[in-house]
Amino acid sequence: MRLKVLTPAQTLVDEPAMRVHAEGLEGSFCLLPRHRDWVAALQPGIVGFTTVEGQERFLAVDQGVLTKCGAEVLIAVRRAVREDDLARLRQVVENEFRQLDEQERIARSTLARLEAGMIRQFLKLGAGRR
């Protein structure tokens, strides 16, 4: 099988794999080359895959979608981090995702202030017409 893991910014993985293990909304599952085509909504967690050399590789992924069509497994997620050592993966995820969550919180706060300002201006315009 060919495994591709895509985020909006990059292709994180594009290589052959013998097995892919992930966790969907209905539970965990494993895909092998001769399995049927499959579509699953992924929940945040760990995606593991075995290379053709037999090495285990790991990714931490955010919510996304996995599709298996023929010999291609495509995973599209908003955020993903690749690290082959599970202990380091946990630390990288905590650091990177925490930083992104903080940036998102700041952006949402800024957007809320802009929306509130715009509503105040509309209210002022409406009050001036009376």
CA trace torsion 34, 3, 50, 94 (10° rounding) = -140
17 & 71 share domain: yes
62 & 109 share domain: no
Q: Which of 84, 99, 122 is the last residue of a domain?
A: 84
User: Per residue in 29-48, pLDDT tens?
Assistant: 999 999 999 999 998 888 99
76 & 18 share domain: yes
3-state helix, strand, coil split of the chain in percent (to 5) is 35, 40, 25
31 & 62 share domain: yes
Q: Token digits for 126?
A: 């409406």
6 & 66 share domain: yes
57 & 92 share domain: no
15 & 31 share domain: yes
71 & 19 share domain: yes
Task: Decide the pairing of beta strands 72-77 and 2-6.
Answer: parallel
Q: Would you place residue 128 in the very low, low, confident or very high pLDDT band (cuts 50, 70, 90)?
A: low
69 & 101 share domain: no
72 & 25 share domain: yes
54 — alpha (psi -120 to 50), left (phi > 0) or beta? left
* pLDDT value, residue 99: 66
7 & 26 share domain: yes
Query: CA angle 76-82-88, nearest 5°?
Result: 145
Specify the number of domains making up the chain: 2
Amino acid at 45: G
C-alpha span between 6 and 93 (Å, rounded):
17
pLDDT at residue 15 is higher than 80: yes
Range of the domain at 113: 85-130
50 & 107 share domain: no
